Structure 1
């Protein structure tokens, strides 16, 4: 299983409008997103894509995601949102964080990943990784980073 890592920045007249545009930049705006609790299944890989390819799934599909998001409304305000992840033979974990700067976000993600590593007696492979999106607000601006799993069956 591949988990697609996507991200976007959007501006709008409202918080919801800018968030929708950030989702659009990541090309996940036409799906019904269902939040997951951040566990990576055994054997899965994380692939940094930037945006999903157009038409990946049907409009309105229910899609499982882990997201980090932040919206700023004050001109000149810095915003950042990111995901950190680590994998092990048994699976892996995502951690999400949003804040004011890339540096602060990365610091917190790495601390959270270290806690996750200490909590699980797994055979960890590789080093922690992060993807953080940062922007400076002009009007209303949103940033989003998302790990996209796959559509869910509601039947």
Structure 2
């Protein structure tokens, strides 16, 4: 059985990329190459909301993630949300993500609606959903990123 860790972070910087990199550092995954996947949780997988990732392997390796991310040029607000639910009896599950220049309540509402829609497409009996939300205000003249990631397992060599 493997583990998916849900991590999150926010940060500001002089450019969009610098704020994104700093938000990844806040979440503990700045030293990896991220590969985004769609939102299916494999059966027999634990999902843990940990906030900041532990050591997941050597620098430069690949991490598989589901990513919710918003980057805004201030002033404004960056918000990101990730919701998940697994089927009962250790079956598969779903992640849903959303983000935007909006408040915490709006992204949480939208991600819950998305997860509900995804659950309706499947013949699985789901557990109660979990949600992680990051939201922060962007100062004028600064780029700001809010992100929530589901990180699948540990890193793997990229080449």
Classify the TM-score, shorter chain: over 0.9
C-alpha change, 1:25 and 1:154, in structure 2 (3 Å) is: closer
TM-score normalised by length of structure 2 = 0.91
Deviation track 1:74-94 (CA, whole Å, cap 9, x = no partner) reads: 22x111001010110421000
Contact between 2:4 and 2:152, CA under 8 Å: does it hold in 1?
yes
The residue that corresponds to 1:85 in the other structure is 84
**Structure 1: tracts of 5 or more residues without a match:** none
Distance 1:38 1:111, change over 3 A: same
Secondary structure of residue in 2 paired with 1:42: coil
CA distance in 2, matches of 1:154, 1:62: 5
The alignment's TM-score, normalised by the length of structure 1, stands at 0.93
CA distance in 1: counterparts of 2:109 and 2:10, whole angstroms: 21
Counterpart Cα distance in 1 of 2:158 and 2:93: 25
Deviation at residue 17 of structure 1 after TM alignment = 0.3
Task: Evaluate the alpha carbon distance shift between residue 79 and residue 145 of structure 1 in structure 2; reply closer, same or farther with a 3 A threshold.
Answer: same
Residues of 2 paired with 1:29 and 1:154: CA distance? 15
Aligned twin of 1:68: 68
- After superposing on structure 2, the runs of 4+ consecutive aligned residues of structure 1 that deviate more than 6 Å are none
Structure 2 gaps of 5+ residues are none
**Counterpart position of 1:49:** 50
- Separation of aligned partners in 1, 2:156 and 2:37: 11
What is residue 22 of structure 1 aligned with on the other side?
A: 23
Contact 2:73 / 2:138 at 8 angstroms: preserved in 1?
yes
1:129 Cα deviation from its structure 2 partner: 1.3
What is the alpha-carbon root mean square deviation over aligned residues?
1.3
Mapped partners of 1:9, 1:33: distance in 2: 17
1:113-152 correspondence runs (5 A): 113-125=115-127, 127-138=128-139, 139-150=142-153, 151-152=155-156
